[in-house]
Amino acid sequence: MEIDVLTLFPRIFEGPLDESILKRAQKSGLVAVRVHNLRDFTHDKHRVVDDKPYGGGPGMLMKPEPIFEAVETIRREESCVVLMTPQGAPLTQERAQEFSRKPHLVIICGHYEGVDERVREALVDEEVSIGDYVLTNGALAAAVFVDAVVRLLPGVLGDEQSAGDDSFSSGLLEGPQYTRPPEFRGMQVPEVLLSGNHEAVARWLAKSARQRTKERRPDLLKED
């Protein structure tokens, strides 16, 4: 997969890319992530990327020209152009899976009070929000989005199983998990997990996942 990120703050985005799994995924060629500064697509002396909204109101909007120039330079026939905005459809595990099947994502990070509507009209294929709260900067949201998508690419997680067992991919939260030692400060690992009885362990894991989901996220159990 290839990902191009368009942002006013490339450094915000770079930190998360340079650690751990995202770093390894890039090194091993499973994904290529390129971060572009939108100011590089301006042509005026002061490299202006924002302007006042028509009709007044507080704050500034991102101007259309640099975004159009960047997207038109970078996108190809098969690209999916994503706008990060709190107005977008909320990111879910299912949507992350759909995005992970795209060959090329071009991600526009919103900033200020938003972007000129013509960007939406003419360039954007999908709008993504990462939740019902407001961030100052779409680059933070884009880093979350890229992480959620890239870890689903084949080969990115060491053990092919580990994405399948995640909370949400089964529609349930994961239940409690334990590692050694079997007793720690008087707290015991449940006996069944030490039993070596694979069927009993599987039943216990399934039951505790259902129970945890019922307690914490009953909305996930509702039929739709």
Collapse the DSSP code of 115 into the 3-class scheme (helix H, G, I; strand E, B; otherwise coil) and give the result: strand
Q: How far apart are CA 113 and CA 30, in angstroms?
A: 35
Selection from 88, 55, 49 nearest residue 68 by Cα: 49
List for the chain the helix, strand, coil content (%; round to 5).
40, 20, 45
114 is a contact residue toward ligand 6GU (CB under 6 A): no
From 49, 108, 123, 141, residue interacting with ligand 6GU (rule: CB under 6 A) = 141
> Is 109 within 8 Å of 47 (Cβ atoms)?
no
Tokens of 101: 């099947």
Nearer to ligand 6GU, 10 or 138 (CB): 138
From 134, 161, 196, 219, residue interacting with ligand 6GU (rule: CB under 6 A) = 134
Q: How far apart are CA 175 and CA 101, in angstroms?
A: 28
Is 53 known to be catalytic? no
Q: How far apart are CA 121 and CA 116, in angstroms?
A: 9
Is 86 known to be catalytic? yes
Is 151 known to be catalytic? yes
Collapse the DSSP code of 139 into the 3-class scheme (helix H, G, I; strand E, B; otherwise coil) and give the result: helix
CB of 27 to ligand 6GU, least distance (A): 27
166, 174, 210, 217: the active-site residue: 166
Tokens of 74: 């970078």
From 7, 100, 129, 213, residue interacting with ligand 6GU (rule: CB under 6 A) = 129
Interface segment toward ligand 6GU; rule CB under 6 A; list 35-43, 132-140, 178-186, 188-196? 132-140
Nearer to ligand 6GU, 66 or 88 (CB): 88
Residue 219 DSSP code? G
Interface segment toward ligand 6GU; rule CB under 6 A; list 13-21, 93-101, 127-135, 201-209? 127-135
Is 14 known to be catalytic? no
- Residue span 163-182 as binding mask against ligand 6GU, x where in contact by CB under 6 A, dash where not: --------------------
> Is 5 within 8 Å of 143 (Cβ atoms)?
no
39, 151, 210, 212: the active-site residue: 151
Tokens 């092919």 label which residue? 160
Q: In the window 42-101, what residues touch ligand 6GU (CB under 6 A)? A: 84-86
Residues that bind ligand 6GU (CB under 6 A): 84-86, 110, 128-131, 133-135, 138, 141
Q: Give catalytic residue positions.
A: 86, 113, 151, 166
